[in-house]
Amino acid sequence: MKKKELGKGIRALLHDMDDEGAVPTLDTMRELSDVVANISIQEIEPNPSQPRSRFDDNQLAELAQSITTYGIIQPLTLRKIGRDRYQIIAGERRYRAAKLAGLDEVPAFIRLANDQELFEMALVENIQREDLNAIEIAVSYKRLMEECSLTQEELSGRVGKDRATISNYVRLLKLLPDIQNAVKNKMLSMGHARALAGIDDIALQITMFRQTIDQGWSVRQLEQHLKSHFEPKSSGSSKSKVVADPQLEMVKNDLRKHFGTKVQIDRNTKGEGAIRIYFNSNNEFNRILDILQEEI
């Protein structure tokens, strides 16, 4: 999704849509859903119905520092509610951090009035294009879920992709900005990005990213280095050494695809062990619970 700056035609279109009774067309929504506008912070107001009312000051300060260094990686989404007046649909945390960082304007996607169905159609059309990189697809999936109140299961039906695929894409948005940019610039593939997104340790993530770029690792080589890093080191004791079981590895990979997240299986020579399913947020935890409950 190659983003364009807000041209005169789009500016005129937004002003033409100031009347509350104006009805956007699909062509209008298709064009606006693919354009990033720079909007003055003074023209933006929070959504009074925003369910999240408390924001951690330390996390906002960290995000403000990141914005100062890298800029806003993912644009806000705003609803035009009048001439030079916009209301936040998604991105209030980014909006607050941008104000804290002293920005005068922020990048944003613009929506018009109650255009839910048209907006969904326009974004789904964009996702189906062949020239999008993995990060652009991930942003589109996240926008559809956040702005149209869709679960991953519902989104799966909209775009014709299984839920695990959608989850794998959305997880890429947790990668560091430098890694996201490398994916956008085709320095890294989707496979590289997925492997790096499975690393919870930020320091290790950036180390593996730099080594992948510097040494030209393939996806397979990156996965092998990660595997060797996480494998328990030999202690030289007389305890029985656990030998990797190819069938167990197949089960682990199947579970990772099924849940769309990192899965670890630990088992000793007696057959004792545990299965660990990792998650990075309450939403991901609830999604995994939904999958488990469906199969009980």
Residue numbers annotated as active site: 92
Number of Cβ within a 10 Å radius of residue 115: 21
Q: How many CB atoms lie within 10 A of CB 92?
A: 17
